[in-house]
Amino acid sequence: MTAVTTEMQLIADLVPAGARVLDLGCGDGALLAHLQQAKGCSGYGVEIADDNLLACARRGVNVVQLNLEEGLALFDDHSFDVVLQLQTLQHLKNTESMLRETARVGRIGIVSFPNFAHWPHRLSVLGGRMPVTKTLPYQWYDTPNIRVGTFADFEVLARRNGLTILDSFGFHSGHVVRRWPNLLASVAVFKIQRG
Amino acid sequence: MGSIGHVTPQTLHFADPLLLRSGAQLAAYDLVYETYGTLNAKRSNAVLVCHALNASHHVAGTHAGQDKSEGWWDNLVGPGKPLDTDRFFVIGVNNLGSCFGSTGPMQTNPDPALGGRPWGADFPVVTVEDWVDAQARLLDVLGIERLAAVLGGSLGGMQALSWTLRHSQRVGECIAVATAPNLSAQNIAFNEVARRAIITDPDFHGGHFYAHGVVPQRGLRVARMIGHITYLSDDSMEEKFGRQMRAAELGYSTQDIEFQIESYLRYQGDKFSAYFDANTYLLITRALDSFDPASGHGGDLSAAFAAARGNRFTVVSFTTDWRFSPARSREIVKALVDNRIDVSYAEIAAPHGHDAFLLEDPRYHGLLRATFERIGRTIR
């Protein structure tokens, strides 16, 4: 079972104690289990992969097997305090509608994704090649990251969809990056709400 | 993983009348049941397994002196199996109206005016709720106040759901597999074709065929054939039979078997009609049709499940099950989520259609194993 990573802990710190949480693409349920145990949170994970579903069941984390591409019809407006959309948005075809769904279902949404404008990626592209790094380990032809966006791009997308950015920062190597995150962070994190 | 070995059914007589949903009542009745494993000192490790249309109390193990007598869910229930009888005390009950020993249409109508003839068509219509209430009475006698879990697939899943709506305090977890919050019109339609096949069989005699020394076997055969088609997926039928023929060439017969699928369906129909009671078939399909917990709440399933806020759920569906499709299971999950009830939901990509719930799929059984291990950890 995955231990609680620094990145996971940093995300957990953003979730209020006792919150109802929906974790979209919850993986093996480690974060939800941590939120339940350490912060008295409750809620559900959503996963598509069978092995992750089993891992969640073994942890005793509520998990619902759904394809996020099909939307979140199962969940009513504002039925969760927090909706987590961590490292999943870049895998989805319906990125924009999923983002709107996140903001519809949760009072706040916390979104993270790989920041393609991180400086090593920029250098790579300047050198004429798509980046292959620790945070983006895939070749262009086999990457599951079908959406390639930057920290700055997300600000535009959020505005376009009438979402308010409550907070935003980057992560890199287990540290929060608040200075020039579009350049210095490999992961972008946004805390958003509707309206 | 071993088998439970030989098991012996037991019978309990109930002399207190059971008021049925229809308004009728059963003055007295018998329930046949089997148990596996050992009830712990605190009586807290009991799991009830509810059966579907053609199954019975014989969930697991074998009956002495009978070949191929494994229980219908023997691959799931036993020592070291996902529902581990080394840990849990498992109960299987034959439902009222069935033909495997509990009071049903084949048994004597107690009305003295009828001179000891079987109930036949006069057996009162029973519902999922009536079954659940009768099962609760059995638990009273067994001294079990609260079930660690109730488990069922298909019609059995409806009973498992109904437990949380009627006796929420008496059950911890509900595990509902390949089931639905009610039957769709198409589903009722299949049941009706099966019923008409039975009722229009000249040997049916208005449901009182026992006195004539006959059984409406033709009707039962057709009923089973229709049922069987709906339990399989198009793909699994194609894979198993395709257009394979019985003979090397087409016989251009309108009556004889040409294709292997026909042979298979006829075999299933023959087998079934030899042991299953026609009146039971009518009663049980009616119980399926009538189940609709939302109907008492203006059609609002979420309102119905407000009664189950103290329970935890595991819901499982199979992608190729078109008789009890994943969409129907998702309706249940939605109602639970609306009530903030703990639920896990798995949609198993199995090719076998509705029958998948009785088969051994590693993802499916892995999930149930993990679920029962979790339940086991909460038992004291």
State phi, psi for B224 to the nearest 5 degrees.
Answer: -70, -40
B32, B94 in Cβ contact below 8 A? yes
- Output B82 or A195, whichever has higher pLDDT: B82
What is the rounded CA–CA span in Å between residue B25 and residue A124? 80
Interface contact flag, B337 A79, Cβ < 8 Å: yes
**Closest partner CB to A62 (pick from B334, B343, B348):** B343
Residues in chain A: 195
Is A160 in the B-facing interface, judged by CB distances under 8 Å? Answer: no
- The per-residue pLDDT for B316 is 98
What is the rounded CA–CA span in Å between residue A165 and residue B187? 49
What is the rounded CA–CA span in Å between residue B24 and residue A68? 48
**Quick check: A3 pLDDT over 60?**
no
For A162, counting Cβ atoms within 10 Å of its Cβ (0-12 exposed, 13-18 middle, 19+ buried), the class is exposed
Q: What share of chain A is helix, strand, coil (3-state, %, to 5)?
A: 35, 25, 40
**pLDDT means over runs of 10, chain B (380 residues):** 91 97 96 98 98 96 94 98 98 98 96 92 97 98 98 98 98 98 97 98 97 96 96 94 92 93 96 97 98 98 98 98 97 98 98 96 97 94
Q: Minimal CA–CA distance to A94: which of A77, A78, A115, A73?
A: A73
B321 is catalytic: yes
What is the rounded CA–CA span in Å between residue B323 and residue B302? 22
What is the rounded CA–CA span in Å between residue A15 and residue B280? 55
- The per-residue pLDDT for A133 is 86
Confidence of residue A174 (pLDDT cuts 50, 70, 90): confident
At residue B103, what is the residue type?
A: T
Is A54 in the B-facing interface, judged by CB distances under 8 Å? Answer: yes
Interface contact flag, B363 A50, Cβ < 8 Å: yes
- The per-residue pLDDT for B99 is 96
Interface contact flag, A65 B345, Cβ < 8 Å: yes
Contact list in B for residue A58 (CB cut-off 8 A) is 370, 373-374
Q: Minimal CA–CA distance to A151: which of A137, A161, A165, A134?
A: A165
**Which candidate in B57, B167, B352, B354 is catalytic?**
B354
Structure token digits, residue B204 = 């049916």
Query: What's A47's DSSP letter?
Result: E
Pairing, β A175-177 against β A187-194: unpaired
**Quick check: A195 pLDDT over 90?**
no
pLDDT per position as a tens digit, A108-120: 999 999 999 999 9
**Which candidate in B321, B325, B352, B355 is catalytic?**
B321
**Closest partner CB to B370 (pick from A50, A57, A74):** A57
**Quick check: A1 pLDDT over 80?**
no
Angle in degrees, CA A104, A107, A112, rounded to 5: 80
Helix H or strand E encompassing B133: helix B128-142
- How many CB contacts within 8 angstroms connect chain A with chain B? 51
CB atoms < 10 A from the CB of B264, how many? 18
- The per-residue pLDDT for A4 is 63
Residue with tokens 């809620």: A43
What is the rounded CA–CA span in Å between residue B61 and residue B77? 8
What is the rounded CA–CA span in Å between residue B302 and residue B300? 5
Distance from CA of A44 to the nearest CA of B (A): 8
Quote the percentage of chain A above a pLDDT of 70.
98
What ipTM was estimated for this complex?
0.93
Q: Minimal CA–CA distance to B75: which of B380, B278, B357?
A: B357
- Output B114 or A2, whichever has higher pLDDT: B114
